[in-house]
Structures are given as C-alpha cells and as structure tokens.
Structure 1
C-alpha cells in the first residue's frame, strides 16, 4: 500500500489531527488557491471582473466556443454562478452566447475581442503570481508536481475531459 494514502474506503485510518493540516493536501491546495485568487483581486476589480468571470475568460482564451456545461467544469464554477457571470460578461461585450448548431437547446460561449483584451491585460498579473508560487522550485520538481496534480485530477474527475 502507498504510504501517502491516508486510508482506504474501508479503513478508518488516522484522523485529521493526527495527519496535521500541513500534511493534508486538500487543505494546502485550498490555501494556495486562496492566496493565488487574493493576489489577483485588485487587478480583477480594476477590470470589473470577479474570480468566476476571470476563470471563464481564461478558459475561453484557450478553448473557445465551449458548451455551457463543459465551460462550468473547466472554469471550476457552479453552473448557476457561471450563468450570472455570463450574463454580466455578455452585457459587457466580453463573451457571446449562441445556440449549438447540432442541438439548438445547448448554448456555446465564445470570447469576444473585448474579452480577450481584458484577459490579456490580466495575464501578466496571473503569470507573476504563478511565478511567485514556484520560486525556488526547479523545472524537474515543477514537472513532477504538475504530473502528480494531473494524476490526482484523473482519480477524482467526473467527466471524460
């Protein structure tokens, strides 16, 4: 058995107090993402963006024309929150919603030039925060970390993407 796994489904295993917060990966991931999002807040506010809006633009800047359900998964945003973000982004001219050509009930979302410009103006701050997170971590450690995160995501994901 892998010593890093804290318990199997049938084994009660150690309690959180025995593991410690600094050894509990979900806690560390939440702290990291909390700090990352906080580092972007000021620049987001200047652009009139929120974290869900930023995530939406970030995803669409890489994979444009997504169905709303898939966009919610990629942006890690609840569909109801995404719907409100899309309403605001569309009102600001940053995204466009169109019916899917194969299923008129489904909606595809595309980033507009204004949305791409807003995201591009935010990207330097995002990149700087990312670089700060990985300061002192060499390329091999970074690659191993990302590979591990991809494995973890694969273990827990609900979708085939």
Structure 2
C-alpha cells in the first residue's frame, strides 16, 4: 500500500488520488469485516444495504444499487441472501404493481444498530488528526467529487 505517514519523496502512486481513495476504502472495509461484520455474519455489501435502508427504508433495488454503487443483478442476489437471513423483506410497490420495494426487518435494524458503533469508531480513528474545519472541507470535497462522477 502506498499511503505514507512519514516525510518521504512522493511517488506516482502517492499522488494518484484514485489509488489513495481505493486504498483507504479497502483498508476500512477489511478492518470493518475483522472487527464486527464477520461476527454478525454480514458482508460489506450487506452492511451498505442495511446502512442505506436504515436512512432510506422502502427503496427499489435499482435505487439501492445506484446509491451504494453495486450492479443491480449483484444486488438482487445480495437482497435474496438478506431476505433468507430475515434482514430485509420485499414488498410490492404501492404505486407500481410491477415493482418491489425493500424494507428493513426488525432484525435488520437491530443488526445495523449493532454494526454501526464499531464502524463509526473506525471512521473516527481515520479522522483522528483532522480538526473540525478539515473534516468539513473533506466532506465538501468528496461531495463535490461525487457530483462530478454521479452527475
């Protein structure tokens, strides 16, 4: 991994924003799996679905897939797994009989509430040396970048 914390000359990878961002996300993903997700029998994608539905419950699979950046066919299989584990439930869309919506079950909400505190600690650790202004600036820049990518 190219991320450095000491004063050494920059390499091409050190200056590659996409590589740095992917390295950070991958490391957070690994740490999250090791700290809590395995204990809860969840994958990172399961966690992301729970996280999204906790904030935006009752969404169509296509909307969830877009929000968490997972291909729809993959997410359909993930939702099948989650439904088998009683974490989510599909219900017909009240406004469109052809569509289904995905809802958290009480077990899904409880699982998310159990997973979130350790996940939040990992994020806090990653931001330890950031003051409030740096934190807000990072968030603003990431939102701006996401706007460029997602339109």
Normalising by structure 1, report the TM-score: 0.83
2:27 matched to which residue of 1?
35
Q: In structure 1, what is the equivalent of residue 13 of structure 2?
A: 21
Counterpart pick for 2:72 among 73, 79, 82: 79
Question: CA–CA distance in 1 between the matches of 2:74 and 2:122?
Answer: 25
Runs in 1 of length 4+ with deviation above 3 angstroms?
A: none
Name the SS for the 2:96 alignment partner. Answer: coil
Q: Does structure 2 retain, via aligned residues, the 8 Å contact 1:52–1:81? A: no
Task: Give the 5 Å matches for 1:43-82.
Answer: 43-82=36-75
1:24-75 CA-partner distances (Å, limit 9, x unpaired): 1111110010011001113111111111111100100111111110111112
Corresponding residue of 2:6: none
Q: Give the aligned partner of residue 13 of structure 1.
A: none
Please give the alpha-carbon distance, in whole angstroms, between the structure 2 residues aligned to 1:106 and 1:24.
41
CA deviation after TM superposition for structure 1 residue 19, in Å:
7.5
Indicate the structure (1 or 2) with the bigger Cα radius of gyration: 1
Unaligned runs of 5+ in 1: 1-17
Query: Normalization by structure 2: what TM-score?
Result: 0.89
Structure 2 residues without counterparts, runs of 5 or longer: 1-9
Say which SS state the counterpart of residue 152 (structure 1) adopts: helix
SS at match of 1:55: helix
Q: How does 1:3-152 map to 2 (within 5 A)?
A: 20-42=12-34, 43-152=36-145
